[in-house]
Amino acid sequence: MMKSKGPIQLPYAGTKVRKIEYVGYATGMIGYQIQNTLMGIYLLMFMTNILQIPMLYAGSVTLVCRFVDAFTDIFFGTIGDRTHTRFGSFRPWYVTMAIPACLSFMMLFICPKFVTPGSAFALFWIYLIYLIYGSVFTTIMYTSYSAFTSVATADNNERRGLVLARQMGLNISGIIVAAATPVMMYFGGGVSNNEAAFKALGVFVAVVSIVCYLLCGLTLRERVQLNAGKALPIKEGFKVFKGNKIFLGALICNVLHSIGIAMFGGLMSYYFLYYKMNPGLMSQGQLVAAIVATAISMIFLPMMMKRLRRAAVYWIGVIIFCGLLMLGYAFSMFTVSGYLMCTGFTVGMMIVYAVTFSFIPDAVDYGEWKNGVGAPGTVNTVLTFIQKITTGFGTMLISVLLSAVGYDAARGFEQTQAAREGIRLISCVVPAAFFLLSALGLIFLRVKAEKMKEIREELAVRRANAQKEEA
């Protein structure tokens, strides 16, 4: 992956995005999201139940490791912006790291024979594997994936198509996530929280993700040559943020709703296991939610994104997420509450993700137009840098709140009534509060579509002139 000393001509520059690329982009999100979701749901439980790490120490793992890989995100983002090959800047990295990323995920849910549960080495082991997985491989994979919408095409309609394909992948991932619990219960002998069940989870997700990542990486093409194909100095790349109000708004939205999503995702298994006492309901609820979300993303989301202001679409997602979670809380004595909560989580997340993600290419273009620097890698990695630190805080907050309400891993299903009611409260109210606060970011996202069209047209002229000067 050597950097070229002269300008590189991208073979697919000027061509349209092919249908297979939309499919590939969707599969990339499937692979990433099933890892992200299932890790959020089960990793804390694996650490406390299998590795027998105390709750507060287990909670610190995600916080510390996300803090570390937030910095590696920024490092790789600048490397991606400085890489120029005939295959593009980010695609070579994505394809190369696909298999190592999935294998390291699998190791997160396996307790090797040389690791003694409850020992200091068990804590060291999970830290090591998490850092390899999150700070190296996943950093490269997700940064590259996020940058694709900026470098695969400069056409706004094609970018919107990629965003919708991404959301389709997000929804389909929910169906696969729903299948994970039956897989765990099958290999776990009827339960989903023993060592065999977690090992089956790791293998299942690794195999599915490898297929999804390779489909994505091998089908996508890069067409946009930024900075005339020249290596961008690291310091220069950070100029993209100067006066970039679109980035600021997207950052606020992304950080706060990501905390809410991380908290509900992490608390979901505790809610269904220890409050509802029905882990099968979680799988059923996830399946129904994924089907509903997929239908909405196919029928209604494209129409909403085309006809409504993006801020209005974002508010629809917030209302669905908060409203259905609070209905689930109010009617938690009924089975239907599980379906309401899973549907609110999945549909609300799908909508706000679609809106927030659609602003990222705009932030890249706006920064290049305003400051003369095109840096999609840097924009995406700084965004995930702050997001990972705050979601790490959210995961740490889960362990603090679980301890505060009296949850005791050693008691298994024999939790006290106070602990069960506490799990019910923090699973619904706290995530909804963060989701509602995320709408504050919309204040900075008041950029008219006509203005962005003018910016993209001006950038197209600038890039063409820069290429001619370098030729």
pLDDT (tens digit per residue) in 98-155:
999 999 999 999 999 999 999 999 999 999 999 999 888 988 888 889 888 888 888 8
Query: Is residue 317 a contact partner of residue 355, using CB atoms and an 8 Å limit?
Result: yes
pLDDT number for residue 312 = 94
Q: Is 8 part of any domain? A: no
Average pLDDT over residues 378-389: 77
Give a yes or no: residue 398 inside a domain.
Answer: yes
DSSP string, 308-331: S-HHHHHHHHHHHHHHHHHHHHHT
How far, in Å, are 50, 165, 305, 352 from residue 300 at the CA level? 43, 14, 9, 14
Q: What is the pTM of this model?
A: 0.71
Q: Please give the average per-residue pLDDT across 457-462, as a whole number.
A: 84
Predicted pLDDT of residue 3: 45
pLDDT digits (tens, 9 = 90+) for 185-227: 777 776 666 888 899 999 999 999 999 999 999 999 998 876 6
Q: What is the spatial distance between Cα 86 and Cα 9, in angstroms, rounded to a whole number?
A: 6
CB 157: neighbour CB atoms within 10 A? 10
Q: DSSP label at 448? A: -
Assigned domain for 11 exists: no
Q: Rounded distance, CA 124 to CA 131, Å?
A: 11
Q: Total domain count for the chain?
A: 1
Residue 257 and residue 264 in contact, taking contact as beta carbons nearer than 8 Å: no
Residue 1 lies in a domain: no
CATH assignment of the domain containing 379: 1.20.1250.20
Q: How do residues 242-282 score in pLDDT, each as one tens digit?
A: 889 999 999 999 889 988 988 888 888 888 888 888 877 88
**Does some domain include residue 408?**
yes
Residue 463 has pLDDT above 80, yes or no: no
Question: Does 395 map to a domain?
Answer: yes
Instruction: List the single range of 15-19, 70-74, 232-236 with lowest mean pLDDT.
Output: 232-236
Parent domain of 200: 19-470
Nearest 5°: phi and psi at 222? -100, 135
Q: Which residues contact 430 (CB under 8 A, 6 or more apart)?
A: 260, 263, 397, 401
Instruction: State residue 47's pLDDT score.
Output: 92
Residue 13 resides in a domain: no
Q: In the predicted model, what is the mean pLDDT of residues 296-304?
A: 85
